[in-house]
Structure 1
């Protein structure tokens, strides 16, 4: 039994070690010395990439684990002979991926992913940029590396296994090791599973990319690669173009100036699920958000805003990249696509802003970490930065703690400009919070976040930082409450957006129909900055915004709202499930045209 267990540990460590050794080779090949990469950076890359390497090694160990499990019930097992072919196959695959990743990075600037398959249809064109010698040399490297890996794995594999004496104990122990292997593959026991984002640790893109396991990157993206431009082809191209034309203007002078300064310090508070159903001025449940209701009279209150999607990962990207939502996918989970998007933080960095992001939960969840670092946030603060004693919520640190942390950070800031984004979390299932004003746990959790927000704003007003501060409060998505009526009706997606702070000229109510994606263009417009690259974000206070409408998606469904009413389409059945007050063919066509155009745009990225 001992021989079998030792082998499993050794083969896992061998797979893991092979991946770890690839990292310094990747860095050296891609000019780490010329980039001035410090020795400590190599160790940081190894440390932060180790977990994803371990997960990938876990996948490779699954076959040897299965063979060992079965071997306890066989008289004699020629282990090397059984696993020899497997070793040769994965050695070639791992070597091909590693050498290809190393060699293509100088041309592409990103890690190997499934986009490589798009070029295999025309290998002649794909290889036009390199010489035959370049390719031949890399084939030789692949064969050498594959041979070395195979020999290494053969060396730690016993030639044969004799019949086991303790079959039941050995089987039980191997099954236990299988459970450990599953946890390693999964990436731990937290909410987030293994993903590329967990390796990102700094603002140096080269170091982040160096930490990513290329085999994991390729296989993870392969499962998400589709020809998006061919999806939801409702109309011929000319008709789609004619319908879509002018819906998303990217230029136009402001019709009103909201701010006292062109360069305010900007705090965006993204409130978890805080839809209009909990905001009384928007027709929501009374007495859940008295602070937000009070503050709405002190700032600029956008009363006709709609969330683009129904999940945090999607809503976060919609908010900060001003990019469209999708009914069948989350762009944040597809780094090959999300890295191509413009972003508010990235835009502000170019204007001299310092940027950071605060979240009390697991920032690795849904690839959020890679998206945030890639979109221009220079510093991230998350659950791991708080002591264990403060993690009283199933998702991490409650809002009272993070709001207090945020206040203390901002209190010490003496220079600007800066942009901070803060994602709350207490108003999320299981809705267990250290606050008991309301009897029902769901509205009580939202009331807790509202209470934290009100106290935070009142404290900020006492600081000198208030003078040049713009605080923007809006949720990542709406919430289905009370659970009655159609779950995807506009009522559920209707959200508040509030601009506060000393940088705001005067209180105002803006009732223009809009989406949360319009925040970026509207804000940049007020800052006097161009926002052409945000092609799905509209400056709703611009002269070109002449056709107000809102658009949102849900699980394979889409909705379009304008002054004539609302149309909601279920793509599974192809039927409209809401068309009020009267059916409208135009609303249906415009919703379809936006959906088709969104997938076309994603496919081109």
Structure 2
């Protein structure tokens, strides 16, 4: 079309639409190339991906049009042709083109990290800009990327510059503009009524579903739906039945109350042992990085050696795919409720039944020790409100941190702070429970020079090997301390390094290691019981022979019977229970599915029309967790001291 044919301001919307659709098409195609093998696309699936993708692209664009349409409608003719307005319109169009280029690059980088479109993680990244921008700056040649986007944007703008000038010369009455605006503003209404998240569920293959999505649309959807009401979106049972099933699950006895109140007294045999607990939660330590689980890259010589001297849990699964899920599960012993983790629910995230509160009541020095700044992900507020003192990067003198990156201090500096705190607790004649959270095994994968034989910043393998080195050094220093012989060293991952798979909940991508090392007190052995992160706290308290009141969902792994074994895994929407080589999954819209042999490379999901025994077990955990948390039934209420 020639520039002189433009007869409406709203021609600008058409020009940008074509550019936006091209950008979204390029993004989808590049992501498809990156995930081609996993996506397993037939011709029909290929067409569905692009057709549904176009629908989502148009839906996002229709929402983005609202302020633009109103501006074009309301600016009168005398202002429209002014130099100021012309400059603003031209600048806005160039900024839009540049923004689309930025979105293309951001989506490609986000996919490279997580193998999904924008989701809750991207929303969190927007909130915690300092860590994220530092991480991006340290991980990627940002000036090069931004410059390349700028050059491409200039070229695209040049292609339509004459058309933009022609539109800026158009004379158009208000009545004419109302007609155009009225038609255009119907589009977001249609999108709101007809387009939702359900459309993208075109296949059991999660890669296909992600490819059919639109990144900006998904970002807005995640921002709006960061918490989900279980009763509104998921399959339920009558509360009395779900409560009875849950109580039988967690107490191994008959129901003890007619409601979801799961508080009970745990009587562990033997005299209490007030041993120290040094719990190290390692960032992204997938089980398959360790040689004891079959890895042949020799990345974890210290952990592999330690595994032979420890109680090694070979069949433990993370509850989620984010650090806060791991922290939530280990600290509160609660399944992953749908939406964002409890750690980040800033209204009701404190005064909960935590292992920290239990041990603090028994006289322990209880600390959360984090390599980064604990305001990130609301961690400091969560732990401080649940019985913990806080040691983090912001409370550590600069002189005691030899190396930092976007996420915090290097692991060996973190361990130095923990050993320093242990020395202090020992001098005060107090047992300690320290929950450490590392940061180094995270992009940009940088660490101090001279520690290992893989250069800093070269990728995940180097970060894993450095993480292993730092653990070895920490234990070597701890062995010189008087408190070492009476300390349990617990090493467990927060989650794995990747959660993407052909299905929504790929069980293999939740498998994590846990080791408990204490030569004086723990016999070296393998524990093959299928178990969950929510079982860590009850198991540790059992090893200490602790009697305590409990509102925990987890169980002592060491006394589980075969029929008790299960792992609870989830993402932001799907809630799974893995047991007996079957994975039962609850999804929004009360959908229920089942995977048999879910550890296969491409397990097939089948849809259930009514709950069976496995699904009812699944429902009992998640319906119970949502009810108990929402009704504050796991609030910390220390039992009265009896004389």
Kindly report the root-mean-square deviation, in angstroms, between the aligned alpha carbons of the 2 structures. Answer: 4.4
1:514 maps to which of 513, 523, 531: 531
| CA distance in 2: counterparts of 1:478 and 1:271, whole angstroms | 10
For residues 277 and 543 of structure 1, do their structure 2 counterparts lie closer, same or farther at Cα, with a shift above 3 Å needed? closer
Greater CA deviation, 388-397 or 223-232? Answer: 223-232
1:566 maps to which of 582, 603, 612: 582
| CA distance in 2: counterparts of 1:192 and 1:365, whole angstroms | 10
Asked whether the 8 Å contact 1:331–1:338 carries over to 2, the reply is yes
2:511 maps to which of 454, 473, 494: 494
Q: How far 1:498 sits from its partner (Å)?
A: 1.1
TM-score, with length taken from structure 1: 0.59
* Residue of structure 2 equivalent to 1:470: 488
Q: How far 1:237 sits from its partner (Å)?
A: 3.2
Structure 2 residue 305 is the aligned partner of structure 1 residue 289: no
Asked whether the 8 Å contact 1:305–1:496 carries over to 2, the reply is yes
TM-score, with length taken from structure 2: 0.56
Aligned residues: 413
* Residue of structure 2 equivalent to 1:537: 554
For residues 239 and 472 of structure 1, do their structure 2 counterparts lie closer, same or farther at Cα, with a shift above 3 Å needed? same
Q: How far 1:271 sits from its partner (Å)?
A: 0.7
For residues 555 and 187 of structure 1, do their structure 2 counterparts lie closer, same or farther at Cα, with a shift above 3 Å needed? closer
Asked whether the 8 Å contact 2:536–2:554 carries over to 1, the reply is yes
* Residue of structure 1 equivalent to 2:357: 346
* Residue of structure 2 equivalent to 1:376: 387
Residue deviations 1:370-423 (CA, integer Å, cap 9, x gap):
111011112433345242874532211111222233334434553421221211
Residue deviations 1:51-72 (CA, integer Å, cap 9, x gap):
xxxxxxxxxxxxxxxxxxx9xx
Residue deviations 1:211-244 (CA, integer Å, cap 9, x gap):
xxxxxxxxxx999777555442433334434543
* Residue of structure 2 equivalent to 1:87: none
Q: How far 1:487 sits from its partner (Å)?
A: 6.9
For residues 192 and 450 of structure 1, do their structure 2 counterparts lie closer, same or farther at Cα, with a shift above 3 Å needed? same
For residues 552 and 297 of structure 1, do their structure 2 counterparts lie closer, same or farther at Cα, with a shift above 3 Å needed? same
Asked whether the 8 Å contact 2:374–2:380 carries over to 1, the reply is yes
* Residue of structure 1 equivalent to 2:564: 547
5+ residue gaps, structure 2: 1-73, 92-125, 134-222, 252-263, 633-643
Residue deviations 1:1-36 (CA, integer Å, cap 9, x gap):
xxxxxxxxxxxxxxxxxxxxxxxxxxxxxxxxxxxx
* Residue of structure 2 equivalent to 1:589: 616
Report the 3-state secondary structure (helix = DSSP H, G, I; strand = E; otherwise coil) of the residue aligned with 1:496. strand
For residues 381 and 392 of structure 1, do their structure 2 counterparts lie closer, same or farther at Cα, with a shift above 3 Å needed? closer
Matches within 5 A, 1:295-374: 295-374=306-385
Report the 3-state secondary structure (helix = DSSP H, G, I; strand = E; otherwise coil) of the residue aligned with 1:304. strand
1:431 maps to which of 431, 445, 467: 445
| CA distance in 1: counterparts of 2:346 and 2:496, whole angstroms | 25
1:266 maps to which of 274, 277, 281: 277
2:130 maps to which of 190, 199, 210: 190
| CA distance in 1: counterparts of 2:441 and 2:454, whole angstroms | 13
Asked whether the 8 Å contact 1:192–1:366 carries over to 2, the reply is no
Asked whether the 8 Å contact 1:266–1:420 carries over to 2, the reply is yes
Q: How far 1:350 sits from its partner (Å)?
A: 0.9
| CA distance in 1: counterparts of 2:504 and 2:459, whole angstroms | 20
Asked whether the 8 Å contact 1:264–1:503 carries over to 2, the reply is no
Residue deviations 1:316-370 (CA, integer Å, cap 9, x gap):
1111111221242211111332224211111111111112221111210121111
* Residue of structure 2 equivalent to 1:247: 249
| CA distance in 2: counterparts of 1:188 and 1:241, whole angstroms | 38
Residue deviations 1:135-179 (CA, integer Å, cap 9, x gap):
xxxxxxxxxxxxxxxxxxxxxxxxxxxxxx9xx99xx9xxxxxxx
| CA distance in 1: counterparts of 2:293 and 2:532, whole angstroms | 15
For residues 491 and 385 of structure 1, do their structure 2 counterparts lie closer, same or farther at Cα, with a shift above 3 Å needed? same
For residues 544 and 277 of structure 1, do their structure 2 counterparts lie closer, same or farther at Cα, with a shift above 3 Å needed? closer
1:603 maps to which of 630, 635, 642: 630
* Residue of structure 2 equivalent to 1:580: 597
For residues 300 and 437 of structure 1, do their structure 2 counterparts lie closer, same or farther at Cα, with a shift above 3 Å needed? same
For residues 390 and 551 of structure 1, do their structure 2 counterparts lie closer, same or farther at Cα, with a shift above 3 Å needed? same
